[in-house]
Structure 1
């Protein structure tokens, strides 16, 4: 069953920003907030994300990543000085 959420004491500039953004997308402020709330609820919390990523051992060493980045970037412009 759908629930109703009410947000009180929104600053005028915040509401104006929401109204502007909703208008740019051709939707109402409640539609914009419903979409954003759905997106937020679907994402893991920071604590959950940290638990998930901590369990995955990295198969790539940091030194390998840095070496590849250095190779892709090439020499620094002032490397010859």
Structure 2
């Protein structure tokens, strides 16, 4: 079931920027903000998953592995 989120005290300039961005994409402000929240939520899930993979990889190799090396390997795997 869909939930309602109400955001108070949005600064005028932020509201105006969001409204302009929504208008530029021919979306309602509500739909635009919902889409942006969906993107933010997915990004947070990816960050959490990457952190878990890094932790598990370090535990498996039993030494510190550079985060950048693990993320590069993940990206290579995704491209294959």
Match for residue 11 of structure 2?
Answer: 11
The CA RMSD over aligned residues, in Å, is: 2.3
- Bigger Rg over Cα: 1
Between the two proteins, the alignment pairs up a number of residues equal to: 59
* Distance in 2 of aligned mates of 1:38 and 1:23: 19
Aligned to 1:39: 39
Partner-residue secondary structure (3-state), 2:6: coil
Give the gaps of 5 or more residues in structure 2: 59-64, 70-80
Deviations 1:14-60 (A, max 9, x none): 000001100110001110111111122223264543222343477xx
Structure with more contact order per residue of length (Cα contacts < 8 Å, sep ≥ 6): 2
Q: TM-score, normalised by structure 2?
A: 0.59
Unaligned ranges ≥5, structure 1: 63-81
Paired with 2:26 and 2:18, the residues of 1 have a C-alpha distance of 12
Partner of 1:27: 27
Give the stretch that moved more between structures: 2-11 or 32-41: 32-41
